[in-house]
Structure 1
Amino acid sequence: MEEEQSPGAAGGGEHHFLQDVEVKKENPADEVAPEAEEEDEDSLPHSEVLDIFEEGLARLVQDPLLCDLPIQVTLEEVNSQIALEYGQAMTVKVVKADGEIMPIVVVQNATVLDLKKAICRFMELKQQREGGVKHVSWRYVWRTYHLVFQGEKLEDDTMRLKDYGIRNRDEVTFMKRLRKK
């Protein structure tokens, strides 16, 4: 496409742009009224927009990088998966008393408290997706159970997981606390 320049125009490209703007103004059939644009945006019901979004999200999580994520993925989960790929995070396999393994993603320099918060968030999301128990008393859980790695209790919430020797893909288990008499 060749640009048209008028004699004496210093910035030929700019002049061509201005000509296009003038042409658009001269041809009212090409213009779209602001009301029409709003009508186009409002023409899809919310449920259809959600369906379109969920279809796109389903295609997104088919990517090999994100294939481990659930269909109803959150932005937080996508960011965690990306951090894992870049080596900025690690997965800690938390084994519940019933044998279920929860893959919990935490940053590399996470503390025991960070791991506990991530476990809470993981369970919250799982409950939202599957239904079931609506409320878990985490105060009760942490009062009743220890997190244990290779026989050592993770008692100090401020201590980093690295300091306990926990690395990517290591297993941490819930162990019932012994009652003090």
Structure 2
Amino acid sequence: MTDISSPPEERDAIEHLKEDDEEDEEALPHSEFLDIFEEGLALIVQDPLLCDLPIQVTLEEVNSQVALEYGQAMTVRVCKADGEVMPIVVVQQATVLHLKKAIRRYYELKQQREGGIKHISWRYVWRTFHLVYNGEKLDDDSKKLKDYGIRNRDEVTFVKKLRKK
């Protein structure tokens, strides 16, 4: 109850606390909130621009897809030795290091969704394999992909490094 003789600021504060209590009673349980969120996300993913994204899409994947549509990013197709092709999205001005980090994010998300290998030593991967485009090794992490001639939808392959004797 508010006392009429109390100052207006105090009355406003008490009324605000009562409103907060009423809002808490109307708050959704976490599981219901997740259900509503996933329904909304499913509607977003049905959009023609975003239809090729997975169901458990991340914000980064949505942003990458939008950047692709606006021409701010490109897709580099990375081919593994087993024939698998990974479509990796990087910004237009990306360096080799950006590509390597994007490959890592792509593969970790894929493993998380499929329940595969829990840990990959990326240090070992980059020590053991080269990324190669048109026979040229992408060995300078600070060099831009465009400097190697890589454009949208070009293929880069993993090639095992030869040991020096």
User: Do the structures match in fold with TM over 0.5?
Assistant: yes
Percent identity over paired residues: 79
Alignment of 1:9-158 (within 5 A): 33-41=19-27, 44-158=28-142
SS in 2 for 1:129: helix
Per-residue deviation, residues 85-142 of structure 1 (Å, max 9, x unmatched):
1000000000111111101000001000000000001011111111110000000000
Structure (1 or 2) with the larger CA radius of gyration: 1
Candidates 135, 160, 165, aligned match of 1:176: 160
Which amino acid letter does the alignment assign opposite residue 39 of structure 1? E
Task: Give distance in 2, aligned partners of 1:174 and 1:92.
Answer: 13
Task: Give distance in 2, aligned partners of 1:66 and 1:147.
Answer: 29
Per-residue deviation, residues 46-81 of structure 1 (Å, max 9, x unmatched):
112111111111111110011111111111111111
What is the match of residue 5 of structure 2? Answer: none
1:33 shift after superposition: 3.7
Structure 1 segments unaligned to the other structure (5+ residues):
1-31
C-alpha root-mean-square deviation of aligned residues, in Å? 1.1
Per-residue deviation, residues 120-165 of structure 1 (Å, max 9, x unmatched):
0101111111111000000000000000001111011111000000
SS in 1 for 2:118: coil
Task: Give distance in 2, aligned partners of 1:73 and 1:53.
Answer: 12
Task: Give distance in 2, aligned partners of 1:47 and 1:40.
Answer: 14
Q: Spell out structure 1 runs of 4+ moving beyond 3 A.
A: none
TM-score (norm 2): 0.87
Structure 2 segments unaligned to the other structure (5+ residues):
1-17
Task: Give distance in 1, aligned partners of 2:87 and 2:35.
Answer: 28
